[in-house]
Amino acid sequence: MRPKQLKFLFGSVAILLALGYLGFSGFQESVAYFQTVPELYASKEKAYERRLKVSGDVVAGSITREGTGVKFVIEDAQSKAKLPVHYVGSSPLPDTFRDYATAVADGTYGRDGVFTATKIEAKCASKYEKEAAAGVIATGGGK
């Protein structure tokens, strides 16, 4: 092979290796473990080291807005385990986020016992059933 071809070959390999490394490290950072509140508490020390998605029902009356952040508590329906959550993301909360809604918080668990979320998803399919079971009557134009 000619020296120009070798330079091109080595340069191409270096670029491909760099792109592969960047892609792999970006993928590793985007991985989040999905857990329920009891599973989070059971994972102990591992919970502090990784990015998580935690699911639970929003406890009625726990939503408080503080500046740009929102604090609330989620609860596991079966075990009644509760987790305080502090949302600090820049996106607005979903319209379906309210008392009794099932929320999925994406973020990290701190040693202070508070889950700091940067993303919140609210599931709405069963929230009306939960409100009816809790004796709450929805107001507005819904059925």
Please say if the pLDDT value at position 141 is more than 50: no
What proportion of the chain, given as a percentage, has pLDDT over 70? 80
In this prediction, residue 68 has a pLDDT band, given cuts at 50, 70 and 90, of confident
Please say if the pLDDT value at position 140 is more than 50: no
Which pLDDT value is given to residue 127? Answer: 45
Burial 39-66 (b: 16+ CB within 10 A, else e): bbbebeeebeeeebebbbbbbeeebeee
Which pLDDT value is given to residue 30? Answer: 58
HSE-up (13 A, CA, CB side) for residue 29: 6
In this prediction, residue 132 has a pLDDT band, given cuts at 50, 70 and 90, of low
Determine the straight-line distance between the first and last CA of the chain, rounded to whole angstroms. 76
Q: Which residue has the tokens 């699911």?
A: 55
pTM of the predicted model, to two decimals? 0.67
